[in-house]
Amino acid sequence: MHILITNDDGVQAPGILALAQALREIAQVTVFAPNRSWSTAGHSKTLHRPLRANEVTLEDGATAFTTDGAPSDCVGLAVLGMVKDPIDLVVSGINNVSNMGDDLTYSGTITAAMEGVVSGIPSIAVSLDGPQKPIHVNDFRTAANIARQVVQQVATRGLPPGILLSVNVPFLPAEQIKGFRITHLGKRDYHDVLVSREDPRGHPYYWIGGSAPTSIHEDGSDVTAVRDGYVSITPLHLDLTAYHLMDNLNQWNWND
> Which candidate, 85, 108, 118, 102, places its Cα nearest to that of 13?
108
Going from the C-alpha of 104 to that of each of 90, 168, 238, the distances in angstroms are 17, 12, 12
- Is 227 part of any domain? yes
pLDDT grade, residue 155 (50/70/90)? very high
Q: Is the pTM of this model over 0.75?
A: yes
Nearest to 20 by CA among 33, 11, 29: 29
Please tell me the total count of domains within the chain. 1
Question: Is 212 part of any domain?
Answer: no
Instruction: Respond yes or no on whether the N-terminal peptide bond of residue 94 is cis (omega within 30° of 0).
Output: yes
Q: How many residues does the chain have?
A: 256
Q: Is residue 210 part of a domain?
A: no
Residue 6 near residue 92 (C-beta atoms within 8 A): yes
Contact 2, 88 (CB under 8 A): yes
Domain that holds residue 53: 2-188+217-250
Residue 20 lies in a domain: yes
User: Dihedral through CA 228, CA 37, CA 166, CA 23, nearest 10?
Assistant: -100
Residue 207 lies in a domain: no
Any domain includes 197 = no
CATH of the domain at 26: 3.40.1210.10
Instruction: Please measure the distance between the N-terminal and C-terminal CA atoms of the chain and give it in whole angstroms.
Output: 57
Q: Does any domain span residue 199?
A: no
Q: Give the model confidence (pLDDT) of 93-134 as tens digits.
A: 999 999 999 999 899 999 999 999 999 999 999 999 998 778
